[in-house]
Amino acid sequence: MTMITQRMQQYFIQAGFNVATGPEVESDYYNFEALNIPSHHPARAMHDTFYFDAHYLLRTHTSPVQIRTMEKNEPPIRIICPGRVYRNDSDQTHSPMFHQLEGLMVTESSTFAELKGLISEFLEAFFAKELTVRFRPSFFPFTEPSAEVDILDDNGKWL
């Protein structure tokens, strides 16, 4: 995983991004509140999140790093946030701990088209081949607009 993370970081560093990190033990404020995740959201349930007490938990995403970065820096901001994240989920396709890489770009001229191009170019560089990708509209309470990315595999299935 270290080699994969380093490879991803190198790509984005060359694209003008900085690498930002943050604590794995996170406050409820940074993990949920500051991201507009309401108190009744299922992700906040004890059966989905590893809580230490009412205020601290193992982070469920690297998004709190973005909040801290925006609190401390004025735009333009171009960061990636690699790291381990934790969710109380374990089955054939899920693990309670996994690695995540998020990015944040805040500039006066950034567009969704630019983001799509950057992600598509990254995926092709990472997998070292041409890919068919699709962007599906999605909803996340802390991003606007929101999308998820799928890659068409060699068997014609979207991943």
pLDDT tens-digit profile, the chain (159 residues): 899 999 999 999 999 999 999 999 999 999 999 998 888 887 777 778 999 999 999 999 999 999 999 999 999 999 999 999 999 888 888 899 999 999 999 999 999 999 999 999 999 999 999 999 999 999 887 787 889 999 999 999 999
Please give the model's pTM, rounded to 2 decimal places.
0.88
Same domain, 62 and 91: yes
Same domain, 81 and 136: no
Domain count, the chain: 2
**Would you call 69 helix, strand, or coil by DSSP?**
helix
According to the model, what pLDDT value does residue 69 have?
98
Read off the tokens for 20.
């930002």
Same domain, 100 and 118: no
Same domain, 159 and 82: no
Same domain, 155 and 100: no
Longest Cα–Cα distance in the chain: 47
Buried b (16+ CB within 10 A) or exposed e, 39-71: eeeeebeeeebbeeeeeebbbbbbbbbbbbbee
Same domain, 103 and 119: no
According to the model, what pLDDT value does residue 88 have?
87
According to the model, what pLDDT value does residue 130 have?
96
CATH number at residue 62: 3.30.930.10
According to the model, what pLDDT value does residue 158 have?
97
Same domain, 100 and 38: yes
Same domain, 85 and 128: no
According to the model, what pLDDT value does residue 1 have?
87
Find the domain containing 116 and state its range: 111-159
Same domain, 140 and 104: no
Question: Which of 88, 110, 132 finishes a domain?
Answer: 110
Same domain, 122 and 81: no
According to the model, what pLDDT value does residue 113 have?
94
Same domain, 98 and 37: yes
